[in-house]
Amino acid sequence: MFDLTGMTALVTGASGGIGSSIARALAAQGARLALSGSNAAKLRAFRDELNAEYGQDHVEITCDLSNTQQVEELVPATVDTLGKIDILVNNAGITRDNLAMRMKDEEWSDVIRINLEAAFRLMRAAAKPMMKARFGRIVTITSVVGATGNPGQMNYAAAKAGLTGMTKSLAQELASRGVTANCVAPGFIRTAMTDVLPDAQKEALNARIPMGRMGEGEEIGAAVAFLASREAAYVTGQTLHVNGGMAMLG
């Protein structure tokens, strides 16, 4: 079940904590990956690691998502390199946290450009080859804060909520061609960044989660692998919340 053998996938932010877990999950199911990110050295090392572990000829494509030209070239480069694109995972994102009354214009615009606009451009570019093939899976990583809001993250919450609305619209446009579009919305996930938090802060975070712990990157990867699979053909326009019960959303 959820065998992705013969499928190709583009994953943005692939060398990051959640991104690498998503990439591993797809590779483990047999997909061949185009790993994208802004750090060429990290991407290359991660590609070599995946190739050694899973025996596929994965590739890396460096892309700065704040650069419109590079974003527009990413999907065509993936198709040129892998021969096709079956799965697009919009995972990359940044934060520029600040209270609304102190938020600078560039803190707003940087987050919207990278988290929302770049995802739109990649969705638009991937839609054409996917529609032609009459098959495709677009999975976008949003966040629980896109549904609940969060103090100091007006820009980030707006971008993540925007991704959900974009996904629902695109799902309706592409459904008749066998292309699905869905979101995975993580809650608090354990990463290198959260590992360095003081124990008291970790305990306070865990107290907000009914399961009493932060999620693991592998749990996000598993959700993405399901939505990317052939078996998920009748699931589109949905948001799969993976948050340990922190926000029980319909």
- What SS3 class is residue 165? helix
What is the CA 77 to chain-centroid distance, rounded? 19
Q: What Cα–Cα distance (Å) separates residue 149 from each residue in 53, 144, 146, 157, 166?
A: 39, 8, 6, 6, 18
120-148 burial by CB neighbour count: b if 16+ within 10 A, else e? ebbbebbbebbbeeebbbbbbbbbbbbbe
Cβ pair 36, 14 in contact under 8 A: yes
Cβ pair 181, 237 in contact under 8 A: yes
Task: Check if 54 is active-site.
Answer: no
Which one from 46, 54, 135, 156 is the annotated catalytic residue? 156
Distance separating alpha carbons of residues 247 and 44, to the nearest angstrom: 37
Residues 183, 223, 90, 94, CA torsion sign: positive
Distance separating alpha carbons of residues 86 and 61, to the nearest angstrom: 17
Nearest to 93 by CA among 28, 36, 136: 36
Catalytic residue numbers? 156
